[in-house]
Every structure is written in structure tokens, then in C-alpha cells.
């Protein structure tokens, strides 16, 4: 959907309009004929702001009222940060855009695509992300994970592949929370939402007393230990061979209320230590059965997301 007169000024004025009219005055229904609403916000005509907000459906018109179309759950998820909420509705309105399509691969491809386009619109989007603080991925994990989920849902691949991607993200979030809550690591980094081609999903550290990096590749299955397997790509194999302190987190989420985790050092996966020519294009991936490590799996309780 093309937005006319799209600019950082329009985005920020729309944010201020929502904050002043909807949030601060607690008006979830706005009378279109209300006389005390200003004609302009930050120099932008209020009519232009409303038109934009209706286009991205954050406002909808109903019986001569404008309805704020944001659930309490969404507001709470993004700590009521209006610009982040606005940008969520914006990317959903732009689902045919290439920068939205590549979001399934993480933040870096999004920023690279927008920068390479070099249009006034793409520059505005980049500025908007920066104004919202979204260039700091780790402080906005929920927002970027939701964006990835949405982008994956637009994939032209089979639904089964989409579901696999969604399951993978569930495991990555579980691993981040495990590092924070169980190992008490202060700031593990979910690198896969920045760039999914790194060959690992999370960068943590050995301990709070040892800042040496710990690289974690997460593999997740809902099929149960008998049938689950980890598909390890050639890129992940290369990184496992070259990086020190490279671990796998195998998550069995057959019962998501009682997820099971096995932490497997790379040395324990046989084919990682075999002399395989990883330059051979025919080797795209290898698999490792979860059941091989059955005794390593333990239920992880009380993880709060």
C-alpha cells in the first residue's frame, strides 16, 4: 500500500497525535466532529494524520467515531510505546514490500534492503526505526520476533516450512530466557533476529565471571524425543568447527508447558569432529537424533517470558 506524503514528519506527528488524543486523554473513541482537537500536530494537518492512521488501520472509522484499534495486550507487550505500535501496524500494511518479506531472516537484511533502495520512503522507514529505538535489537526482542513471525507468515513456501520457522523461534526465546533466568547471564544476545546467516542463534558468555563468548545454536522440535531430530546446516557445521565454546540447545516442546532441554557440546556430535569436506555443495545439512542424547534432557520449569 502506497502512503501519500510519507515522511518522518508525518510519522512523528501521528505518534504525537495518538499520544495526546488517545493515550493521555484516554479516548479510545474519538468524535470526528470534536471541536477541541487541534488543526495541526507538529505542522502536519490533522486530516493528513488521520488519513495515514486509517490507511494502516491503527484507527478505524465507525458511526462517526474514530476507534483506536489497538488491544490492551499489544500495548502491554510493547510497554505502550506508541511509535513501536504504530510501526507494527505500518509493516503489516506493507506486506508486499521486499523489506517486510526479508524480515524473516532478521534485522540486518531489513536495514540492508531499506538502505539499498535509497528512496525517500525507505529513508523515512529507517529514520522511524531509529526514532523508536528499534535499531537496538536486543532491547526490542518482542518487537523483532513478532516482525519475523509476520514475515514468515507471508512466505510462498509450504505451510509446513512456516511452522518449522515458528517452532524455531519458540526455542530461541526459551534459550534466551534460560540463559537469563537459570544461568543468570545478564545480557545474552539473540543474534538470529539480527542476521540468521551467522551459523549460531545466540551469543552468551561462559559465566558472569568469565566473559569469553559462548555461541549457541538452537534446535527445536514438537515431535517428542522418539521422532525429533536436529537438522544442522553446512554453515552451522563450519561455525561449530571454527568457533570455540559452541554449544547446541536441543528443545523438546512436545509439551510446551513442560519444555525439555538438552545442552550438547559440539564435541559430542560425531559428524562435527569427522573430516567432512564442507566445501562440497552436495552437503547441505546433516541430522542428529534427539533420542541419542535422551539422558541429557531435563524439564525446565518456571521460565517466564
The reported pLDDT for the residue numbered 80 is 81
Q: How many Å apart are CA 94 and CA 83, to the nearest integer?
A: 16
Secondary-structure percent of the chain, ordered helix, strand, coil, rounded to 5: 45, 20, 35
Of 114, 141, 156, the position where a domain reaches its end is: 156
58-80, pLDDT tens digit by residue?
Answer: 999 888 888 889 998 998 899 88
Same domain, 117 and 216: no
Domain count along the chain: 2
Last residue of a domain, one of 101, 128, 156: 156
Residue 91 within any structural domain of the chain: yes
Q: Are residues 133 and 36 in the same domain?
A: yes
37 and 144 part of one domain? yes
- Residue 305 within a domain: no
pLDDT over 90 percentage in the chain: 52
Same domain membership, residue 168 and residue 101: no
Q: Are residues 281 and 238 in the same domain?
A: yes
Judge whether residue 90 has pLDDT over 70.
Answer: yes
The CATH number of residue 231's host domain is 3.40.1350.10
Residue 117 domain boundaries: 1-156
Shared domain check, 17 and 77: yes
Model confidence at 162, in pLDDT bands (50, 70, 90)?
Answer: very low
pLDDT digits (tens, 9 = 90+) for 245-290: 999 999 999 888 889 999 999 999 887 766 655 554 444 568 889 9
In a shared domain, residues 258 and 274: yes
> Could you tell me the pLDDT band of residue 214, with boundaries at 50, 70 and 90?
very high
Amino acid at each position: 500500500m502506497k502512503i501519500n506524503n510519507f515522511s518522518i514528519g508525518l510519522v512523528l506527528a501521528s505518534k504525537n497525535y495518538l499520544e495526546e488524543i488517545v493515550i493521555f486523554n484516554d479516548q479510545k473513541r474519538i468524535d470526528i466532529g470534536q471541536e477541541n482537537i487541534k488543526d495541526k500536530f507538529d505542522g502536519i494537518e490533522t486530516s493528513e494524520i488521520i488519513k495515514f492512521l486509517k490507511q494502516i488501520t491503527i484507527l478505524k472509522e465507525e458511526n462517526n467515531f474514530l476507534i483506536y484499534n489497538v488491544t490492551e495486550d499489544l500495548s502491554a507487550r510493547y510497554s505502550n510505546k506508541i511509535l513501536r505500535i504504530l510501526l507494527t501496524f505500518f509493516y503489516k500494511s506493507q506486506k508486499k514490500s521486499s523489506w517486510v518479506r526479508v524480515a524473516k531472516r532478521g534485522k540486518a537484511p531489513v536495514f540492508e534492503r531499506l538502505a539499498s533502495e535509497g528512496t525517500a520512503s525507505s529513508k523515512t522507514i529507517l529514520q522511524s526505526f531509529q526514532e523508536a529505538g528499534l535499531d537496538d535489537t536486543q532491547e526490542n526482542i518482542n518487537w523483532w520476533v513478532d516482525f519475523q513471525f509476520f514475515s514468515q507468515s507471508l512466505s510462498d513456501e509450504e505451510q509446513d516450512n512456516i511452522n518449522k520457522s515458528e517452532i524455531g523461534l519458540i526455542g530461541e526465546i526459551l534459550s534466551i530466557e534460560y540463559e537469563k533466568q537459570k544461568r543468570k547471564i545478564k545480557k545474552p544476545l539473540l543474534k538470529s533476529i539480527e542476521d540468521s546467516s551467522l551459523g549460531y542463534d545466540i551469543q552468551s558468555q561462559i559465566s558472569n565471571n568469565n566473559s569469553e563468548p559462548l555461541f549457541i545454536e538452537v534446535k527445536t522440535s514438537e515431535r517428542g524425543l522418539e521422532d525429533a531430530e536436529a537438522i544442522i546446516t553446512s554453515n552451522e557445521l563450519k561455525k561449530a568447527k571454527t568457533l570455540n565454546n559452541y554449544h547446541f540447545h536441543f528443545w523438546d516442546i512436545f509439551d510446551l508447558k513442560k519444555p525439555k532441554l538438552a545442552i550438547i557440546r559440539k564435541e559430542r556430535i560425531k559428524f562435527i569432529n569427522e573430516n567432512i569436506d564442507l566445501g562440497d555443495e552436495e552437503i547441505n545439512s546433516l541430522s542428529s537424533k534427539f533420542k541419542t542424547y535422551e539422558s541429557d534432557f531435563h524439564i525446565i520449569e518456571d521460565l517466564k517470558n
